[in-house]
Amino acid sequence: MRKIQFFDTSLRDGEQTPGVNFNPKEKIQIAKQLEKWGVDTIEAGFPIASPGDFAAVKAIGEAVDQMTVAGLARCQKKDIDRVYEALKGANFPQIHVFIATSEVHLKDKLKMTPAEVLASIKTHVSYARERFEKVQFSPEDASRTEREFLLQAVQTAIDAGATIINIPDTVGYSNPTEFGSIFKYLLENIQSEQEIIFSSHCHDDLGMATANALAAIENGASRVEGTVNGIGERAGNTALEEVAIALHIRKDFYQCETNINLKETKRTSDLIARLSGMSIPKNKAVIGGNAYAHESGIHQDGFLKNPETYEIITPALVGVEQSSLPLGKLSGRHAFNARLVELGYTLTAEELNLAFKKFKVLADKKKQIDNTDLIALVTDQTRKAEAVACLKTVQLQYASHGFQGAIVSIQPAAGETSETKTASAIGSGSIQAIYNSIDLIFEQQPVLTQYEIQALTSGEDAQAEVHVALKNPATQQTVYGIGIDFDVLEASAKAYVEASEKFKQIGA
């Protein structure tokens, strides 16, 4: 069987999702989980973009053990040098060099002739090859590039030292038949004395990103690029979890294998969802809340007789398991820490003390603490450790058949006034009253475009996870916030505070 490599760009292309911004600690956490999931290469960022991106790429390169860590660079020497500086301490560094090749990009964006683009590819891929053993080249907007020129660009990159060629469907324009034929054409016509890895990078503008990626594999690609949950620019990228499961379930057809540890799929997906603030649609393939639910009577009857009648993926395959933890309010610090280590978390002494205190508070409210609760607790703590504003208290005044009142207190960002800010407001409901109060504290008027509650576990004592999205009506920019708490109103307030702080940062 052919081995298909997985290249994850959740921290680069995924972070280009409007409103998504991972802090440095979150990026390290995501990178380590992706390594545990079995990703072969992680695109850690675009080092020339900002000092923060440079620092994150450098930190990830030094934090992971087995994964190749890639940095993105335009066909410019300063970009390449910046990637080299960021990754010189990595165990397995790689550079990803790109330049656009489609007519519309050459004419209207780059203002370059085809000959100038080919010269740039030769110069900069050669320059990168002098500094990196693994050099990947991408002809941006390849799916809208004239075939003969695309072949010229790819051949030029290979001749200059590139051993990985990525073919991007940058604007999600292609379809499986057409995209597959691009790979077939290139593989039949390139000339190289060494093996060249061909990779796909698809966007989902027409809803065909996963299908296009699989078509590329059918036609010779041995690497797939994408993101967890399909996050990314506009409609997003190829959802890697979908490709991983498709290759596994239809191994008879694709005749391929991967290094992906499928049991870590749901945990990886949940982590990205929580840290990005973007909830997973219930009907999302593989990891959606309804992916393993059967409501139709006919389906239920068949499923009860034989699950294979209506279920081609077992929940356990992707890590959707309701395993419980023998942890409660009488559990000690050692057992608590041992379980966190088992779940893949290594905390400092200070972080462990804080997490244990929160665990005890939660254990007083819940009858039993399970894996999902612990993961949510640690993830939420990681987010709040970097937060610049913190919810302190929420007080409510409720009256049936009338307006509700709320008093909210928020601890401002470090560096601002240390005094807690408090405001009160009314609303048609408790949530509206809370959010009106928070708007008064932040002195801004965003538009709430999404409010979603989901229970982390089953039962009446489940923790609530709330997702909100706020839009700036002037700029149309959207930001996301997430809050987790035993109390739904508290979780709702936390989510809105986080989103409001991001709203302030985008210049609302």
CA 48 from centroid of its chain's CA atoms: 21
Task: Choose among 109, 452, 129, 124: nearest CA to 278.
Answer: 452
Q: CB within 8 A of 238, min separation 6: which ones?
A: 200, 201, 202, 203, 204, 209, 210, 212, 213, 224, 225, 226, 227, 230
The DSSP string of 429-490 is: SHHHHHHHHHHHHHT---EEEEEEEEESSSSTTPPEEEEEEEE-TTT--EEEEEEEESSHHH
Q: In this structure, is residue 294 part of a structural domain?
A: no
* Secondary structure percentages of the chain, helix, strand, coil, to 5: 45, 20, 35
Bridge partner list, 239? 227
Domain boundary (363, 385, 407) is at 385
Q: Do 267 and 416 have their domain in common?
A: no
Contact by Cβ (8 Å): 227, 238: yes
Q: Side by side, which strands form the sheet with 478-485?
A: 447-455, 464-471, 478-485
pLDDT tens by residue, 93-108:
999 999 999 999 999 9
Q: In this structure, is residue 321 part of a structural domain?
A: no
pLDDT tens by residue, 32-86:
999 999 999 999 999 999 999 999 999 999 999 999 999 999 999 999 999 999 9
Residue 108: burial class (beta carbons within 10 Å; 0-12, 13-18, 19+): exposed
Q: Do 371 and 468 have their domain in common?
A: no
Residue 322 neighbours by CB distance under 10 Å: 10
What number of CA atoms fall less than 13 Å from residue 343's CA on the CB side? 26
pLDDT top residue among 319 and 444: 444
Q: What is the phi/psi pair of residue 452, to 5°?
A: -140, 130
Q: Do 60 and 162 have their domain in common?
A: yes
Distance between CA atoms of 65 and 333, rounded to whole angstroms? 29
Q: In this structure, is residue 288 part of a structural domain?
A: no
Q: Do 213 and 254 have their domain in common?
A: yes
* Confidence check: pLDDT of 323 > 50: no
pLDDT given at position 387? 53
Domain boundary (385, 419, 445) is at 385
Q: Do 381 and 392 have their domain in common?
A: no
Looking at beta carbons, which pairs linking 368-372 to residues 24 or more positions away fall under 8 Å?
A: 368/324, 368/325, 368/327, 368/328, 369/325, 369/327, 369/328, 370/322, 370/323, 370/324, 370/325, 370/457, 371/323, 371/324, 371/325, 371/343, 372/456, 372/457
Q: What is the phi/psi pair of residue 144, to 5°?
A: -110, 15
Mean pLDDT estimate for the chain? 90
Scan for tokens 């990595």, then name that residue: 90
Q: What is the CATH number of the domain that holds 92?
A: 3.20.20.70
pLDDT tens by residue, 95-144:
999 999 999 999 999 999 999 999 999 999 999 999 999 999 999 999 99
Q: In this structure, is residue 297 part of a structural domain?
A: no
Quick one: average pLDDT of 5-16?
Answer: 96
Scan for tokens 């302030």, then name that residue: 504
Q: Do 157 and 261 have their domain in common?
A: yes
Q: Side by side, which strands form the sheet with 390-397?
A: 390-397, 404-411, 421-427
Domain ranges, residue 433: 387-505
Task: Choose among 65, 98, 68: nearest CA to 80.
Answer: 98
Task: Choose among 138, 135, 224, 153: nearest CA to 189.
Answer: 153
pLDDT class of 385 with cuts at 50, 70, 90:
low
Q: Do 266 and 375 have their domain in common?
A: no
Q: Tokens for 276, please give them.
A: 């990005």
Q: Do 120 and 259 have their domain in common?
A: yes
3-state secondary structure of 277: coil
Bridge partner list, 451? 468
Q: What is the CA radius of gyration of the chain?
A: 24
pLDDT tens by residue, 157-184:
999 999 999 999 999 999 999 999 999 9
3-state secondary structure of 200: strand
Q: Do 391 and 361 have their domain in common?
A: no
Share of the chain above pLDDT 70, in %: 94
Q: In this structure, is residue 66 part of a structural domain?
A: yes
pLDDT given at position 508? 46
Q: Which residue type is seen at 349?
A: A
Contact by Cβ (8 Å): 45, 14: no
The DSSP string of 201-247 is: EEB-TTS-HHHHHHHHHHTT--EEEEBGGG--STT-B-BHHHHHHHH
Q: What is the CATH number of the domain that holds 407?
A: 3.30.160.270
Q: Tokens for 134, please give them.
A: 């693994």
Distance between CA atoms of 185 and 188, rounded to whole angstroms? 5
Q: In this structure, is residue 356 part of a structural domain?
A: yes
Q: CB within 8 A of 233, min separation 6: which ones?
A: 13, 16, 17, 203
Q: Tokens for 88, please give them.
A: 């010189």
Q: What is the phi/psi pair of residue 443, to 5°?
A: 55, 50
pLDDT given at position 502? 87
Q: Do 134 and 222 have their domain in common?
A: yes
Distance between CA atoms of 401 and 233, rounded to whole angstroms? 44
Q: In this structure, is residue 135 part of a structural domain?
A: yes
Distance between CA atoms of 122 and 125, rounded to whole angstroms? 6
* Confidence check: pLDDT of 382 > 80: no
Domain boundary (232, 249, 276) is at 276
Task: Choose among 52, 141, 136: nearest CA to 101.
Answer: 141
Task: Tally the domains of the chain.
Answer: 3
Q: In this structure, is residue 55 part of a structural domain?
A: yes
Q: Do 145 and 234 have their domain in common?
A: yes
Q: Do 33 and 62 have their domain in common?
A: yes
Task: Choose among 436, 438, 418: nearest CA to 427.
Answer: 436
pLDDT tens by residue, 285-312:
998 878 877 656 677 677 678 878 878 8
Q: Among the residues of 95-228, which ranges form H helices? A: 103-105, 114-129, 147-160, 176-189, 209-218
pTM for this model (two decimals): 0.80
* Confidence check: pLDDT of 413 > 80: no
